[in-house]
Amino acid sequence: MVATVVGTRVESLASSGIEAIPKEYVRPQEELTSIGNIFEEEKKENGPQVPTIDLEDLVSEDKEKRERCHEELKRAATEWGVMHVVNHGIPIELMDRVRAAGAGFFNQSMEEKEKYANDHASGNIQGYGSKLANNACGQLEWEDYFFHLVYPEDKRDMSIWPKTPSDYISATSSYAEHLRGLATKILSALSLGLGLEEGRLEKEVGGMEELLLQMKINYYPKCPQPELALGVEAHTDVSALTFILHNMVPGLQLFYEGKWVTAKCVPDSLVMHIGDTIEILSNGKYKSILHRGLVNKEKVRISWAVFCEPPKEKIILKPLPETVSEAEPPLYPPRTFAQHIHHKLFRKTQELGAK
């Protein structure tokens, strides 16, 4: 089976009628004990729930309302590092257009999608792809994806943006612009939560010119043995912030207080993650939470993750002086964003090699 898996899209595998997934997709034994039925998991009411934060008063003229909103945002960023955000200012019809455009791309024939295939070997990471095997363990994730930079406009490579469906470029561009505005507002509130000037975190992650928005549309086909696979393995995001839109099929789980907690599907919300970049700058006061994606037998799940990332080499990421004291020494060494990514990959390879 190995030969047939390499270079195969997960969607092709899923639609081939297989009843058992290839061994490359089966998670190690220690992970399998925690993988349950995602629909059952989502129904659970007992235990901790991912917070929902109403952003309506994020920039309110009313000081009291604004401060209350900021305080709730700060608490969620400190305790969880992830939250559902509602009243975020992004038009619901635009979110629906983005969903329709992304689903429309994946609904095309495989031949059509392959025209946009990326090529990691030559450094072309933008485009249509599937997770490559991690050499240390040879494990694969049950997903295909489409990845590209969506903001700022002058850094986009329009040659790899899908031409079909016809609304893809318009909807995605408009969505990215709205998200960029939301990121500024969130970063301002998080700066104030650390006792910093309003624009400080935005400046520290690259500002208007340098902060990059990278979109990854994750496509998780139905899986014949969902109890053995993961759509995305456990990880923390390297970004400053991540915004996730999805098609209301559950799958996201967060590792909170030693247990996997399933995120509910909250209508008209975005899921927002604090990424490693903000965790480092805040010296661990804001959390970048470990999370993963489950798959299921009945429904295709699609999620649109937009990662707000600092430039790879231009900025040194380290705890800001204001977040450090004798009682709270710096928890992270200075690194560029590129070095941080490399460090995480290297550490993961070491861990896997040790198993």
Domain boundaries, the chain: 21-354
pLDDT band at 91 (very low <50, low <70, confident <90, very high): very high
- Out of 246, 287, 291, 340, pick the active-site residue: 291
**216 noted as active-site residue:** yes
pLDDT band at 134 (very low <50, low <70, confident <90, very high): low
As a whole number of angstroms, the distance between CA 256 and CA 241 comes to 19
**291 noted as active-site residue:** yes
Mean pLDDT, all residues of the chain: 94
Contact 55, 85 (CB under 8 A): yes
- Out of 237, 246, 276, 318, pick the active-site residue: 237
* pLDDT mean over 163-172: 98
Per-residue pLDDT reduced to its tens digit, 24-34: 999 999 999 99
Ranking 8-17, 76-85, 196-205, 270-279 by mean pLDDT, the lowest is 8-17
Per-residue pLDDT reduced to its tens digit, 152-162: 999 999 999 99
- Out of 113, 178, 216, 246, pick the active-site residue: 216
pLDDT band at 87 (very low <50, low <70, confident <90, very high): very high
Model confidence, pTM: 0.95
Q: Number of helices (H) and strands (E) in the chain: give both, helices first.
A: 12, 14
State yes or no: cis peptide before 165, omega within 30 of 0.
yes
CATH number of this structure's domain 21-354: 2.60.120.330
CA atoms within 13 A on the CB side of 126: 14
pLDDT band at 136 (very low <50, low <70, confident <90, very high): low
Q: Specify the DSSP class assigned to residue 153.
A: G
Sign of the CA dihedral running 130, 132, 133, 134: negative
**237 noted as active-site residue:** yes
pLDDT beyond 50 at 2: no
Contact 106, 129 (CB under 8 A): no
